Amino acid sequence: MVAKNDIEAVTTTIIITSGDVMLEVLTRARRNDTVMRNMPSYEAQINKANLAEQEKPSFTKHKRYVSEENPGVAEILDHLKQKLAAMAKRLRRYRESHLRKHQNTEFATNQKNFYKNLKKTPSDGKENDAMPKKEELLQFWTGIWNTPTNHRITKWYQDEKREM
């Protein structure tokens, strides 16, 4: 903090009348010089104190969470499960973000390699070129096309059908 003598050195003006007063003026001028050199640190201390005063009301307004001293096994398990779920989500977001950034840079630098790596499955890293069997394809598409659906037949649809 700023000492009282330093503040007096900055704020007082002295009228020179004799030799003793001249000596006092020189010492105050030296003190004034040190105060001016240390002014940024004084300002930082003052600003720090002001910030601390501004933060105090927010702590009094909002209550902080205080855990129990002896939580039960169920509470501990629940807390650990929540922490694990949060960390798993964070890890998943990180992996997706990392993969997206990696693919963006790879596309910008080497598109051939980018498309080649798209064929690979993320789990094993091997190429996935195996074609499905004919029976599997037929079963898949017949399952889709043979299911009856009820569409709304509107006037414009009937008009288009007549024009064909």
The C-alpha atoms of residue 120 and residue 127 are separated, in whole angstroms, by 4
22-62 tens-digit pLDDT: 555 556 656 666 655 666 665 666 666 665 565 565 555 65
Average pLDDT score over the chain: 73
The C-alpha atoms of residue 31 and residue 24 are separated, in whole angstroms, by 11
Q: Is the pLDDT of residue 21 over 80?
A: no
- Kindly give the interhelix angle for 111-118 and 73-109, rounded to the nearest 10 degrees: 140
The C-alpha atoms of residue 129 and residue 131 are separated, in whole angstroms, by 6
Residue 16 · residue 29 · CB < 8 Å: no
What's the confidence (pLDDT) of residue 3?
52
